[in-house]
Amino acid sequence: MITLTNVQKTFTVNDTTIKAVNNVNLSIRKGEIFGIIGYSGAGKSTLIRMLNLLERPTGGTILIDGQDLTQISAKELRLARQEIGMVFQHFNLLWSRTVFENIAFSLEIAGVKKAKIKERVTELIELVGLSGKEHNYPNQLSGGQKQRVGIARALANNPHVLLCDEATSALDPQTTDEILDLLVQINKRYQLTIVLITHEMHVIHKICHRVAIMENGNIVEQGDVLDIFSSPKHSVTQRFVKQISHEDNSLKTARHLAHEFPNGKVVLLKFLKEKAEQPFITNIIRNFKVDINIIQGKILHTQEGGYGSLYIHLTGSEINPALDYLTREGVEIEVMT
């Protein structure tokens, strides 16, 4: 669906060349939600803006549905952009237009007849949950409602691709979750390819199928969200995963227990998908001579299934047989002491 090959973007500031994006290679599948995450200055905003050529790359190719956007004419690019909707961080609404008029704007520019515009806009207003707000102006809306207008406007021309540029970073946590749920609904209903950038790992684990992690203009790691969460390789990825796993605090507690109770073992258990729901701890207590102190545990749900992590402190005469049982059951074990 979307293929980036050796994509680069350089800027010159005070005779200094800055590589905002450095030889990025990505392949995004049709119908998936693909996340790009990085800290400020990583190059993610520049990268997503190159997907519709709001920023023109210095080098490389950008193929969408087999068409290289870097090689087409200005007229062809205008037509191609109608297939690519975009949602912005700060909404970018027209403040003198109502909700209905904001959503209708791109259809008016495209020369769509009034009856078709009314039908399409009414459909979208219902889809994004703004029925009854069609005659309101942006200054009469909450932040979440403004972003719903932005999403509806981006969908007006029935695009094949939806780009989300930090679409939830200006919203509170509850509204963020509501907007993310709406994006999942849209993805499933229209089989729409969604590419979003964010600096929040919560956004990635909640709705994305795959993710790429950026640092200093480079993709440092990419893969299925579940694989990235369960086994992050790069230090930047590990920091992002810790944002929602609270691993640092658990590790401190585990080390404290290991010092206070040297006769036992402190163990980190990791398990994926359906295994995250199985009663491993109950089975150990029932079948082995061990006592278990649960330090901290969490199950995170992604689009591809659950990922669980659990710190436990074991004492007793059958610690090793209990750990052997977990290994046979496919649980990943890391002995901390």
Answer with the one of 209, 243, 277 that is the final residue of a domain.
243
- 313 CB burial (10 A radius; 0-12, 13-18, 19+): buried
What does the pLDDT look like over 219-233, one tens digit per residue? 999 999 988 887 889
Are 103 and 217 in a shared domain? yes
**Secondary structure (3-state) at 107:** helix
Q: Between these two residues, 276 and 38, which has the higher pLDDT value?
A: 38
Residue with tokens 């919203």: 171
Are 38 and 62 in a shared domain? yes
What does the pLDDT look like over 79-128, one tens digit per residue? 899 899 999 988 999 999 999 999 999 999 889 999 999 999 999 999 99
Count of structural domains, the chain = 2
Contact criterion met (CB below 8 Å) for 2 and 9: no
pTM of the model as a whole: 0.84
Q: Is the pLDDT of residue 24 over 60?
A: yes
pLDDT confidence of residue 214: 97
pLDDT confidence of residue 177: 94
Are 129 and 265 in a shared domain? no
Q: Is the pLDDT of residue 163 over 70?
A: yes
Q: pLDDT-based confidence at 245, cuts 50/70/90?
A: low
Print the domain residue range for 87: 2-243
Are 256 and 317 in a shared domain? yes
Q: Tell me which amino acid residue 207 is.
A: I
Assign residue 323 the CATH number of its domain: 3.30.70.260
pLDDT confidence of residue 145: 97
Helices (H), 3-142: 44-50, 74-81, 99-109, 114-127
Mean pLDDT rounded to a whole number for the chain: 89
Distance CA 62, CA 228 (A): 25
Q: Is the pLDDT of residue 156 over 60?
A: yes
Q: Percentage of residues in the chain with pLDDT exceeding 90?
A: 64
Are 280 and 220 in a shared domain? no
Are 217 and 326 in a shared domain? no
Question: Which structure tokens are listed for 213?
Answer: 């992690």
Q: Between these two residues, 273 and 196, which has the higher pLDDT value?
A: 196
pLDDT confidence of residue 23: 94
Pairing of strands 305-316, 210-215: unpaired
Answer with the one of 212, 243, 274 that is the final residue of a domain.
243
pLDDT confidence of residue 110: 87
Are 320 and 173 in a shared domain? no
Are 10 and 147 in a shared domain? yes
Answer with the one of 210, 243, 276 that is the final residue of a domain.
243
